[in-house]
Amino acid sequence: MDLHGRTVLVTGATGGIGDALVAALLTRGARVLAVARDAGRLSELARRHPPGAVTPFAADVDATADRRALLLHAQAMRPTPSVLVIAHARAAFGLMQDQHDDLIDAVIRTNLAAPAQLIRAALPMLAAHPAAAVVAVGSTFGSLAFPGFAAYSASKFGLRGLVEALAREHADGPVRFQYLAPRATRTAFNSTRVDALNVALGTRVDDPASVARRLVDAIERGTPRRQLGWPEAIVARLNALLPSLVDRSLARQLPLVRRHAGAGPSSQEPRHAHHPS
């Protein structure tokens, strides 16, 4: 897909990956309808780019009224968005037994239910274009369920299933569905405990700009599913084929996960969380 001249709606546009994604999309000649809750950070994002390149729109994708207002705004743009990139999410590191009901509900709502509702609402607008795309930013944990990330893994497994089912439902239509999964990436999404766990596990952590470039390449190529990073891509496949092998390997990591998960709010929220639900 040639992105030049298209409008791309990006949720989570002020996030570590979202911000880099906006920049990468602009280099390919797209303009961006940028969505997040914090209007101040959105305006700051728009100011860093040429006038008119980024249209900021403050919305909480969890809220029905905000999604409606966002769609009305998108429909008034010319051209209307023909690519929807879902790049927002809520983090939730911690042992599930220590997590509050509200956090588990919020993770599923933000990471799975809201994307489903937004995609459904945007489909008529997207399908009016001869070629369009829905791109969900997933996670390694959407293919490799990880201890300490139960609710988050469940939400990303769900997102992957949602996108795969929709791709099959729309196989003969103009809208392409893509599930693209970064591995660990250096952003404020990860709390200091997650950063420490990644160090202890020897997990490689990518730079958001390189992740964004690979995501945009995959959007241009129309890749239906992609796990970024090795060994993550291999382990994700191994988990599908021989999950008991992965069970045994992760059982050895469990003491480390438990030690870093600890308890208390800092294990459950990203560093810059500023919107209590």
Ligand X SMILES: NC(=O)c1ccc[n+]([C@@H]2O[C@H](COP(=O)([O-])OP(=O)(O)OC[C@H]3O[C@@H](n4cnc5c(N)ncnc54)[C@H](OP(=O)(O)O)[C@@H]3O)[C@@H](O)[C@H]2O)c1
**Chain contacts with ligand X (rule: CB under 6 A):** 11-18, 35-38, 41, 60-62, 87-90, 110, 137, 139, 182, 184-185, 187-190, 270, 275
Side by side, the strands of the sheet bearing 175-181 are 54-58, 31-36, 7-11, 81-86, 132-137, 175-181, 225-227
b/e sequence 77-88, b meaning 16+ C-beta within 10 Å: eeebbbbbbbbb
Q: How many CA atoms lie within 13 A of 53 on its CB side?
A: 18
Q: 81 with 135: CB under 8 angstroms?
A: no
| Residue (152 or 244) nearer to ligand X, CB | 152
Distance (Å, whole) CA 68 – CA 194: 35
Min separation Cβ 174 and ligand X, Å: 25
Give the 3-state secondary structure of residue 236.
helix
| Residue (96 or 131) nearer to ligand X, CB | 96
> Residue number with the shortest CB distance to ligand X?
15
Min separation Cβ 221 and ligand X, Å: 19
- Residue 233 has which token pair? 């891509």
Distance (Å, whole) CA 122 – CA 67: 9
Min separation Cβ 147 and ligand X, Å: 17
| Residue (95 or 195) nearer to ligand X, CB | 195
Min separation Cβ 205 and ligand X, Å: 7
| Residue (87 or 126) nearer to ligand X, CB | 87
Min separation Cβ 31 and ligand X, Å: 18
Min separation Cβ 130 and ligand X, Å: 28
| Residue (16 or 81) nearer to ligand X, CB | 16
- Residue 104 has which token pair? 């588990």
| Residue (129 or 271) nearer to ligand X, CB | 271
Q: 45 with 51: CB under 8 angstroms?
A: no
